[in-house]
Structure 1
């Protein structure tokens, strides 16, 4: 891979790495960087009355997207939205129970997919958020869109909520693979529509979050993680060949290399359980990687986070690398620790 920026285009460090550049100082953003650890986010969410109300107020969602950039100066902005906007647009009702998380109805362990009435106009507020954020961003910042991967989205659609073992979806996938495949195919098509709309509105790269990829056996992983993500990449590249796609199969472990080879993603996110030196050995040469700092190390701060950063940078010294967490930033993360992480990565400063 190589990256040659047009002479009239501002240098975007993160986008350059996604195109294959090896940066002496890795660019950085953090998953869930626009979220509950920021007092300005908590204040705005309280004012809007709920999470979904915040997502669907495009001006407020744009404000949330840029809040961490104002405070920290990250190299990437991640769209503020939610992975469950896709099943919502596919026809399920979506709401958030205080202290318990999202709920979807009707649940597809009991109802056939044909009972849902898709309404892709439900994507429009998100596209408007993208347009508003795009107008606010510093030219050097890369704007990232995202969607959930089909397996992870299916687990919520089948059970109607999150679960510890994704048991309802796994049972349906084993017991009625034809019915489950129809659901996966519908999610693929909706996701391509959603991501294409984000790209048309202004995002410059997209990430596929497969948060529950680690719950599947190897054969099921091939069928319900690798194949659907490969289909999204293939369809999206046919529409937007220059847009990088980051795949993040959390919990993939030893299946990480198969995921990279089988999906055709342009970059791969590495969670905190993966040895970065092993990942560097098994992943395709030159494939950009992202991660894999433990969110709990960031909470601990100090020597713990410096040791982790040093280990990650040593592992990926000769590979395109984006510094990021191995999963989302946690709500009790001290802001001072994020500031110290940035200073250490960018300037070697110890605070």
Structure 2
């Protein structure tokens, strides 16, 4: 059977718009919560092929999406490099900060693939267990976004410490980005080797970076990753997601050479159609909170998105991931709305 999501990314759209949702495997599903409560920690959950495979399959069974994204976390990469990573309830991820030459020296690619090998095992299992028509999506965080956690040791609202290192200590900051480029490129290639059909690079914190630094910290590392993955896997499409990048989105698409790009909720659809979709497949961009509300507001917005972007390559998705309070029945209605739409 045809993988219509994969074909759409390759420039062969069908009459039906393919779809998947960011965080489609997650806390809004009771079957996910049942498995999660039996995992000792979130990182243990990510590294458990039995559990990670099962929760990746759960939304496919419920809703029949055209794409299944590997269940893992972007912090697998620094964990694999030797940085201590853990999650605290109510506080999110925590890491031992890497902000000096001494702490940077503790990171290494030696043993990286052994440490994250269970993720590849999950990808391999999914490639065999997913329905034939479903596209398997691997992923990684982009170097800038992962660096915000690596350097600050936690999430941040303004990433002040990271910016200050980038401006004031560009040599150390450059070393960190270069190491993340190396690790991320190898990590994505290994996912493809294990069976991923598509990979996505998440740059969740790319907002409000001054233009010259947007090129240096976001575009250049991503372009290098795309080039390295293409050198080994030329037929595998790559999706970028420079979230909240605003007017830099078109430049990002043209310079990184991605095959598709995710649109965050704030991207005007008419502009995306005219300025971005003519270059690549676009993916997005419904507000996840509309799915919490459901009803006519959700259906009408989904229809508007589908109608506006129907003239080119489009994968329906959200502008960011599902939130925990999302009613599963609203996801079912949204899925049926998308499936019933024809170009």
Q: Matches of residues 25-174 of structure 1 in structure 2 within 5 Å?
A: 25-108=16-99, 111-118=102-109, 119-120=111-112, 121-174=114-167
Secondary structure at the aligned position of 2:82 is classed as coil
Distance across 1 between alignment mates of 2:101 and 2:263: 35
Any gaps of 5 or more consecutive residues in structure 2? none
Per the TM alignment, residue 303 of structure 1 is displaced from its structure 2 partner at its CA by 1.8
Contact 2:87 2:94 survives alignment (8 Å): yes
Distance across 1 between alignment mates of 2:163 and 2:75: 19
Per the TM alignment, residue 111 of structure 1 is displaced from its structure 2 partner at its CA by 4.6
Distance across 2 between alignment mates of 1:29 and 1:222: 29
Count residues with an aligned counterpart.
340
Per the TM alignment, residue 174 of structure 1 is displaced from its structure 2 partner at its CA by 0.7
Q: Spell out, residue by residue over 1:156-202, the C-alpha distance to the aligned partner (whole angstroms, 9 max, x if none).
A: 00001110111111111011112111111110000011011100000
Distance across 1 between alignment mates of 2:171 and 2:273: 37
Select 2:252's aligned residue among 259, 263, 269. 259
Distance across 2 between alignment mates of 1:130 and 1:84: 17
Contact 2:94 2:153 survives alignment (8 Å): yes
Per the TM alignment, residue 314 of structure 1 is displaced from its structure 2 partner at its CA by 2.4
Distance across 2 between alignment mates of 1:213 and 1:307: 29
* Misfit runs of 4+, over 6 Å: none
Contact 2:181 2:225 survives alignment (8 Å): yes
Distance across 2 between alignment mates of 1:223 and 1:107: 20
Distance across 1 between alignment mates of 2:20 and 2:39: 26
Aligned to 2:339: 346
Q: Spell out, residue by residue over 1:258-291, the C-alpha distance to the aligned partner (whole angstroms, 9 max, x if none).
A: 0000100000000001111111111162510100
Distance across 1 between alignment mates of 2:124 and 2:304: 38
Distance across 2 between alignment mates of 1:158 and 1:124: 24
Contact 2:4 2:13 survives alignment (8 Å): no
Contact 1:29 1:76 survives alignment (8 Å): yes
Give the TM-score normalised by structure 2. 0.96
Aligned to 1:221: 214
Q: Matches of residues 195-274 of structure 1 in structure 2 within 5 Å?
A: 195-274=188-267
Structure 1 residues 286 and 256, CA gap change in structure 2 (3 angstroms): closer
Any gaps of 5 or more consecutive residues in structure 1? 1-9
Aligned to 2:319: 326
Per the TM alignment, residue 225 of structure 1 is displaced from its structure 2 partner at its CA by 0.6
Per the TM alignment, residue 109 of structure 1 is displaced from its structure 2 partner at its CA by 5.5
Are 2:284 and 1:287 aligned? no
Distance across 2 between alignment mates of 1:46 and 1:245: 33
Per the TM alignment, residue 110 of structure 1 is displaced from its structure 2 partner at its CA by 7.8
Distance across 1 between alignment mates of 2:79 and 2:98: 12
Give the TM-score normalised by structure 1. 0.94
Secondary structure at the aligned position of 1:182 is classed as helix
